[in-house]
């Protein structure tokens, strides 16, 4: 019977010194490649800034002065005489509720009334103008004349249809009831005062 042959064990491979050449035919060890992060260019316009969030606009409340003017123009001033009228202030005096009556198309003039009080120093009303008319004049017991109205300190002046008042001349169109139009008053010392002319249904009476 054949005895098994004892083959000698293969000699162990000697460790390769650092930097030594790799044996020919040896298998190269595949190392996994390092994964580098991918950089993606993003346009600045593609990412909205934090403060670009859409905020709904806050509704604006109508100015108190405009509300009061509309109340008087719609006749509420006659229904509630105690309601405060439109007021326009300069440094030296106050003008309260300039008003006129509605006119038909083709009318040439319109009465302009108001109240002037809280006069701190002597002054004088010398001019009035509005885009709805070509000019303005003062009407007294003597008839129409150029606007030259003295205002004494501490005095109160009330203009009415049946007394002293101003008159708009050369109307460019009819004045509609409930509307209001720009009005500029010029005083000798107080300067220009920007006001609003209300078109009332009935005559305005001050208390």
Question: How do residues 56-90 score in pLDDT, each as one tens digit?
Answer: 565 555 455 454 455 544 444 443 343 345 899 99
Report the distance separating Cα 102 and Cα 113, nearest Å. 13
Domain count, the chain: 1
Position with higher pLDDT, 171 vs 82 = 171
**CA separation for the pair 67, 86 (Å, rounded):** 9
Q: Indicate which CATH number applies to the domain containing 151.
A: 2.60.40.1890
In angstroms, rounded to a whole number, what is the distance separating the alpha carbons of residues 97 and 74? Answer: 13
pLDDT, tens only, 193-204:
999 999 986 544
- Give the residue-averaged pLDDT of 99-116: 94
pLDDT confidence of residue 20: 47
Lowest-confidence pick of 25-34, 53-62, 106-115: 25-34
Rounded CA-CA distance 165/99 in Å is 11
Q: Tell me the residue range of the domain where 92 lies.
A: 64-200
Q: What is the pTM of this model?
A: 0.58
Which has more pLDDT, 72 or 186?
186
Give the number of other Cβ atoms within 10 Å of residue 184's Cβ.
15
Q: List CB contacts of 107: < 8 A, sequence separation 6 or more.
A: 171, 174, 175
Radius of gyration, alpha carbons of the chain: 46
Q: Is there a domain that residue 24 lies in?
A: no
115 within some domain: yes
d(CA 79, CA 62): 22
């Amino acid at each position: 019977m054949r005895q098994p042959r004892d083959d000698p064990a293969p000699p162990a491979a000697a460790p390769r010194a650092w930097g030594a050449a790799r044996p020919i035919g040896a298998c190269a060890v595949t190392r996994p490649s390092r994964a580098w992060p991918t950089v993606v260019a993003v346009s600045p316009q593609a990412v909205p800034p934090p403060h670009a969030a859409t905020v709904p606009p806050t509704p604006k409340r109508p100015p108190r002065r405009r509300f009061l003017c509309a109340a008087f123009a719609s006749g509420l001033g006659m229904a509630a005489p105690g309601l405060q009228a439109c007021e326009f202030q300069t440094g030296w005096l106050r003008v309260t509720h300039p008003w006129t009556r509605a006119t038909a198309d083709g009318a040439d003039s319109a009465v302009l009334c108001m109240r002037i009080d809280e006069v701190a120093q002597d002054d004088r009303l010398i001019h009035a103008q509005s885009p709805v008319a070509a000019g303005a004049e003062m009407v007294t017991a003597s008839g129409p004349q150029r606007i030259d109205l003295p205002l004494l300190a501490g005095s109160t002046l009330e203009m009415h249809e049946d007394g002293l008042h101003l008159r708009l001349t050369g109307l460019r169109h009819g004045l509609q009831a409930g509307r209001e139009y720009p009005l500029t008053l010029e005083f000798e010392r107080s300067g220009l005062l920007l006001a609003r002319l209300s078109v009332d249904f009935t005559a305005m009476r001050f208390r």
